[in-house]
Amino acid sequence: MKHRVIIIGAGPCGLSAAIELKRAGIEALVIEKSCLVHSIYRYPTHLQFFSTPELLEIGNLPFTTPNDKPYRHEALVYYRKAAECYQLNICTYEEVTSVHEANGKFQLVTKTISGHELHYEAQNVVIATGYFDYPNMLNIPGEQLPHVSHYFQEAHPYAGKQVVIIGANNSAVDAALELMRVGAKVTVVSRGAALSGSVKPWVKPIFESMVAKGAISLRISSQVQEIMSDKVIIREQTDEGESLYNLPCSFVLALTGFRPDRKMLSQLGVQLQEDGDKPVFNPDTMETNIAGLYVAGVIASGKNANEIFIETGRDHGKWIAQHLLQ
């Protein structure tokens, strides 16, 4: 099957790229290994975005909501409707297993959820894969135990249990508050001396109030050294020096963030910048050092995946479309 453009990834930035290309008269095929906007689907059930709805819009379609900041379920509906409105050509539950360039064309092999192998050819490829499938691992003993997760969906399963949360960013703070509300005994372990500076300003004072009241325990300047079946071993740095102590728990949520997977870029020969993490690309066109190969969304970021959000990555498709029209 031959196409002018194939986009790998149906997240908000991949959808935005497909829409911008279609508005420019270029029909793109979008291939997604999971469901539409899978990263947002994997967000906590009751998550509220940091951004306003206007900053999440794609394709000049209004994102209407009665809330100042939209919620996860509203975003799922919005992006689903955006794809329907523009009648995008999307193959979900189909994973790209290999891509290689030969004679100025890109050859793609995919595998469907039913196990069928499909072959595609494209003049241009846009890699818009996200990062939510690749958590930042702690690389400590016990991290693979069944009661440890790098994802938090909702609080109900943890009601009445002792839960240790590793991390002090937005996801950790939101999870701690939700867990507290269902009666979980929550301890947040932060390696820093304070919460992350990116914690939502309307949430931070609520969290700090709960810590002050003793409803949530916060361990700063601390690191989990090992996870065991019924406890974690924590190293804490104090003015008196370091100390180790055991903290009983039933579950561990290692909410330490995520990173893009750049394996596909490396296989295609895309150069990486000096830090070995950020791909080399033209910021005006999003084209990499491989002619006809583009990046869009968080895959274009460096080690800090948060340097590109939906509100910035959604413009990448416009620049790609403009370049392909030249």
Q: What average pLDDT does this structure show over 96-104? A: 91
Mean pLDDT in the chain? 92
Q: Kindly report the pTM of this predicted structure.
A: 0.90
What pLDDT, in 10s, does the model give residues 280-302? 999 999 999 999 999 999 898 87
Q: For 199-249, what is each residue's pLDDT tens digit?
A: 888 899 999 999 999 999 999 999 999 999 999 999 988 777 788 989 999
Task: Please state, as a whole number, how many other Cβ atoms lie within 10 Å of the Cβ of residue 121.
Answer: 13
In this predicted model, what pLDDT tens digit does every residue of 155-176 receive, in sequence order? 999 999 999 999 999 999 999 9
Confidence of residue 44 (pLDDT cuts 50, 70, 90): very high
Structure confidence at residue 307 as a pLDDT band (50, 70, 90) = low
Rounded to whole angstroms, how far apart are CA atoms 151 and 257? 9
Q: Let me know if residue 139 belongs to a domain.
A: no
Residue 140: inside a domain: no
pLDDT value at residue 266: 86
Number of domains in the chain: 2
What are the pLDDT digits (tens) for 57-98? 999 999 999 999 999 999 999 999 999 999 999 999 999 999
**pLDDT, position 249:** 96
Which strands make up the sheet holding 185-189, listed edge to edge? 148-149, 251-254, 162-166, 185-189, 216-219
Neighbours of 311 (CB within 10 A): 16
| Closest of 190, 185, 184 to residue 170, by C-alpha | 190
Give the Cβ contact number of residue 169 at 10 Å: 17
Domain that holds residue 91: 2-134+258-324
Same domain flag for 249 and 265: no
Residues 266 and 207 in one domain: no
Q: What pLDDT is recorded for position 295?
A: 96
CA dihedral 258, 264, 269, 272 (to 10 degrees): 0
Q: Give the count of alpha carbons within 13 A of 320, CB side only.
A: 38
* In contact, 255 and 167? CB cutoff 8 Å: yes
The percent of residues above 90 in pLDDT, for the chain, comes to 77
Indicate whether 266 and 175 sit together in one domain.
no
Q: Hunting for tokens 């955006």 — which residue is that?
A: 82
Per the domain annotation, does 195 fall within a domain?
yes
